[in-house]
Structure 1
């Protein structure tokens, strides 16, 4: 008797990702589930700002475009859709999706909103400290705009058990979006940590969509990837015992190889033997990859260990302003004129905290200027300021180089924006409770 399997596709690796590969995957991939992973740490803080300005917003800006393109196909193919496109406002996202489903003529589509990740009311300003800086969160207490814990699978599991066709969450750990339907379909126990480790490995390999298909792998020289302009997104097929492979549609661009999988496995992982998630401490140290056929990689050896009892939470807070202005110099003595512009700016601004970069020459590595004479150089002048007025003054000073020298500067751009900083804390997982709301078309 053949083993039961389920097939999960990855429809997005970040908020602004392409939509066409997801449409192709739903149409041709014989999927059971499609997952759109669209949320980053700073993304949700910006979404909270949007929600503060309009309580009906705060969800992913491409939610409507994605739903219009994918929801009718999902309904026709009986593919369930799971996504963190709810961002700071899963309820509003679910309501909007229900309205869109009606507009598209889709009947009896059940949409679940999973919330509970907003933990700003649980912050203890007297004891919580930032993991990155070690500072007490009380140092930015008046500037905090968001606090979102990384939830695990439990809310999504409840929604699946409630019969949801579409599940929209806020901040959920990326692998949990994939792990939840696996647990649901196979009835895995939430304390079977070796199995949860296998499912988490699948989720981690899949969460960035096109990356595991060669997108982030390609360098154009030593690591050639075919047809990147038509890059496909991956799907995974997994058995009840946790054995799975990663693949892609045969007519899509890119490639799935042991190399692309190895790079994605290590992506954003500090210690492969202890990858902390809300559902399991995953252990990837024994993972191996085997090519079954072209673009089909078997993944083995992942396992897991018990939980820590803590959840990571991202704290977003206002942290001043960023001033960024740029100007180009081309032709003879381009570097010399850019250096002269830097000396002028240092004299005018009298601020030692201003950053000067010659893009393409020394902006990334800060080494000595190479012994070349480029035909063009882009000078960037940037600083962090306490006030918007200070930021505006800096960018305007760069613009004055047009007529006040050095010669032949052009293409000035100016940007002033508020800085939303992100740091992390740990909170007691027992204090966090998910909430599920349902809406129907």
Structure 2
């Protein structure tokens, strides 16, 4: 049976690049997906775009693509990523310009339409607490989770690189699988199987031992050279997962089953934009070292509503720290924490004060404990006082304090809600060197 090999090139915004380049070079991939977006990272992207309308995409996009795209394009590997974050069109333009600078010609497909701020009902309840969205603060961003149907037109238009904003993680994998196999996304069986592939691959190294390793309990060999996984996916959606020979990590039933349940809210009907995924019939079988076969996903038709990640101004946050080292570091750090609690008691904020680290009785000069203070407030001037009091411990606190770090920044809070699918209008733009045109 013909299979399509699809690889995981990133599992979050801060992921390593080297394993993705290795996959593109040596794995014989058809497609590689870099999943770099979460509720936190799109909120940070929205924060950057509020400060600079030309910003908002993943700040590591250029660094990743400078190394990955030449390798991938040389080998005919399509690249799909949500590094567009809060500004996918600008990310596409940056990608196009980078390719031009590198002397490469390739069609860049940009998927937009996830930004639904202008059509959001602020009286709608937040899924987390049932309160109207407007009650949480000034809403500054609203991004719907698009599905594979939003990505597929870019692939059909011949895009070799696809950059999206907020697309559901497994949908980034389902779209190229449906395109390669010529399958209908409206088929719940295939949509479920492809979504399961995406769910298992979306966190990249988590499937091969990253975020899994626990020495003496769950040992992972060669963690420093962790390799990322790929899947050989058949037309029926069944798949075998593997990793490159010579790379570190482990891919077995334990790593697969742990990732299988990761972030699954309801295993009988995990909600995605493409399907309601039922995991109850899924089987996981080890077929060879670092080779696992997974099958048995079932699905029900996609929901009529889409999840929306809503960002709102949640005030400001201060984080401030100071270290104490040497003998009795823990006692001096505890005293510093008590002094801070007393000095800050008069402020109309409730700081959290923690002492991090333990100094054993025989601790030498290398022992270190750190006092950390964090607080939220609408008024940043109050938080500056908190940071100043930590800094003042240098000469107004216990002996041996040092290494003060303090910063205050605005916080974009995140809640979620649902909108009718009809309220979301995805679009695709194809960018080429010196040419911008809408997809047909």
Contact 1:333–1:373 (8 Å) recurs in 2:
no
**CA deviation digits over 1:57-86, x for unaligned, max 9?**
221111111221111122211111111011
Pairwise mapping of residues 193-342 of structure 1 onto structure 2 (< 5 A)? 193-342=188-337
Q: What residue number does 1:364 align with? A: none
Which of 103, 117, 120 is equivalent to 2:117? 120
d(CA) in 1 for partners of 2:216, 2:412 = 37
Task: Find 1:15's aligned residue among 13, 30, 35.
Answer: 13
User: In structure 1, what is the Cα distance between the partners aligned to 2:52 and 2:317?
Assistant: 24
Question: How high is the TM-score relative to the length of structure 1?
Answer: 0.93
Hey, what's the Cα distance between the residues in 2 that align with 1:387 and 1:19?
A: 39
Three-state SS of the structure 2 residue aligned to 1:174 is coil
Alignment partner of 2:30 out of 24, 29, 32: 32
Distance, in Å, in 1 between the alignment partners of 2:391 and 2:54 is: 39
How far residue 385 of structure 1 moved from its aligned partner, in angstroms, is 1.7
Q: Equivalent residue of 2:59, what SS? A: coil
2:436 counterpart residue number: none
The 5 A counterparts of 1:16-415 are 16-107=14-105, 109-126=106-123, 128-141=124-137, 143-350=138-345, 351=347, 353-360=350-357, 375-415=367-407
- Structure 1 Cα separation of the partners of residues 303 and 150 of structure 2: 19
Distance 1:386 1:31 in 2: 49
Q: Deviations over 1:327-361 (max 9, x none)?
A: 22233433332232222212211157221111135
Distance in 2 separating the partners of 1:321 and 1:175: 33
Distance 1:97 1:335 in 2: 50
Deviation at 1:224, TM superposition (A): 1.0
Contact 1:335–1:373 (CA under 8 A) maintained in structure 2:
no
* 1:366 alignment partner in structure 2: none
| 1:434 pairs with 2:426 | yes
Alpha-carbon separation, structure 1, partners of 2:232 and 2:373 = 49
Displacement of 1:373 after TM fit? 8.0
Contact 1:45 1:145 (C-alpha < 8 Å) held by counterparts: no
Q: In angstroms, what is the RMSD of aligned CA positions?
A: 1.7
Please list every run of 5 or more consecutive structure 2 residues that lacks an aligned counterpart in the other structure: 434-440
- Quote the offset at 1:377 in angstroms: 2.0
Greater mean alpha carbon deviation, residues 158-167 or residues 47-56: 47-56
The number of residue pairs the alignment matches comes to 428
Q: Pick closer, same or farther for the CA change 1:65–1:388 going to 2, 3 Å.
A: same
Q: What are the Cα deviations for residues 245-286 of structure 1, in whole angstroms up to 9, with x where unaligned?
A: 111101111111111111111111122121100000001122
> Secondary structure of 2:179's match?
helix
Distance change in 2, residues 1:310/1:255 (3 Å)? same
**Whole-angstrom CA distance in 1 between matches of 2:385 and 2:92:** 43
Which runs of 5 or more structure 1 residues have no equivalent in the other structure? Answer: 362-369
SS at match of 2:419: strand
Deviation at 1:371, TM superposition (A): 9.9
SS at match of 1:93: helix
For residues 336 and 73 of structure 1, what CA distance do their matches in structure 2 show?
Answer: 54
Name the CA distance, whole Å, in 1 between partners of 2:127 and 2:161.
Answer: 34
Distance 2:288 2:129 in 1: 47
Alpha-carbon shift at residue 372 of structure 1 (Å) = 7.0
